[in-house]
Structure 1
């Protein structure tokens, strides 16, 4: 082989290797971006369903204390189920253990709302739940920011 042929073959091999590496790296980046977007959606879904569950439990409390017309008990069960599903989605998608612990604490506190004795305590604990959901969102926002920097 003469030098020109070796140069052409070497140049082609370099171009093909470069194209292959670019493809592999772009694919990895696309997977990372999809995971990042999934985290954001999971965090948003959890916060929304936790608040919906909180509302349903508080409505149930009013019903149990005959301060409001009857509501269907299935709504509390449905929203609790949705909140737990969203919680598990958060746990699956994050590496930050604090987010999982925060989510679990929120669900436990919301569940405890049904056992309060009076309206003042219900209002106070309901506000505490809202504050905890806000804290969860702040943790999630920080996790999303960190993940954004690695993408």
Structure 2
């Protein structure tokens, strides 16, 4: 009889231990899934913003160049700027909502301001130069976001010495 009680208690202990380990594994997997989904959403937000900024920059330059050439305002180009600006702000707000990195957010807001300022430039050559500067600013933003947000691994010591 005593042997049967030991067997039953041993089986019960085994079942309880298996349940606890399975619960811990499932909880760990849920945490991993949540963290992975959040990382993916941050990556998507960070990737969507440069594309939206490029579209806004393009529309702003096209509208201003046409206005400088003809002296007239083009309603279709104004509508294109409005649409591109709305898309850029939407992407920026999503990035702002999902990220907790002040330098990345500040760089994004600065780019929005620089693109907005393109409409005040009165010389086509200066406008082209400013548009190029914004382009390089977007490139710098991408590098900043990749490194600060951990989307790209920082260079290893041996990689740094090999490129020097």
Calculate the TM-score normalised by the size of structure 2.
0.83
Q: Please list every run of 5 or more consecutive structure 2 residues that lacks an aligned counterpart in the other structure.
A: 154-164
Indicate conservation of the 8 Å contact 1:57/1:110, yes or no.
Answer: yes
Shift of residue 68, structure 1, vs aligned partner:
9.6
Matched, 1:118 2:123: yes
- Which residue pairs with 1:57 in the alignment? 60
- Which residue pairs with 2:46 in the alignment? 43
- Which residue pairs with 2:146 in the alignment? 141
Q: Please list every run of 5 or more consecutive structure 1 residues that lacks an aligned counterpart in the other structure.
A: none
Distance 1:22 1:145 in 2: 26
Report which of the two structures shows the higher radius of gyration computed on alpha carbons: 2
Give the root-mean-square deviation of aligned CA atoms.
Answer: 2.0
Distance 1:22 1:68 in 2: 68
Shift of residue 22, structure 1, vs aligned partner:
0.9
Q: How does 1:61-80 map to 2 (within 5 A)?
A: 61-66=64-69, 70=74, 72=76, 73-80=78-85
Indicate conservation of the 8 Å contact 1:57/1:113, yes or no.
Answer: yes
Tell me the matched-pair count. Answer: 148
Calculate the TM-score normalised by the size of structure 1.
0.90
Shift of residue 116, structure 1, vs aligned partner:
0.5
- Which residue pairs with 2:105 in the alignment? 100
- Which residue pairs with 1:20 in the alignment? 23
